[in-house]
Amino acid sequence: MARLAAIESDLAQRQNEFADAAGKRARLVREVEYAEAVAYQRAKASGAGPTDAKQAAKAAVGDSQEYRDLTAAEATYDAGKAAVNVLSTRATIGQTLLRTLREAA
Q: What residues does each domain of the chain span?
A: 2-104
What pTM, to 2 d.p., does this model score?
Answer: 0.70
pLDDT digit string, tens, across residues 60-96: 888 889 999 999 999 999 998 888 888 888 888 888 8
pLDDT digit string, tens, across residues 11-49: 888 788 888 999 999 999 999 999 999 988 988 888 888
Contacts 24+ apart (CB under 8 A), 28-34: 28/66, 28/69, 28/70, 28/73, 29/70, 31/66, 31/70, 32/61, 32/64, 32/66, 32/67, 32/70
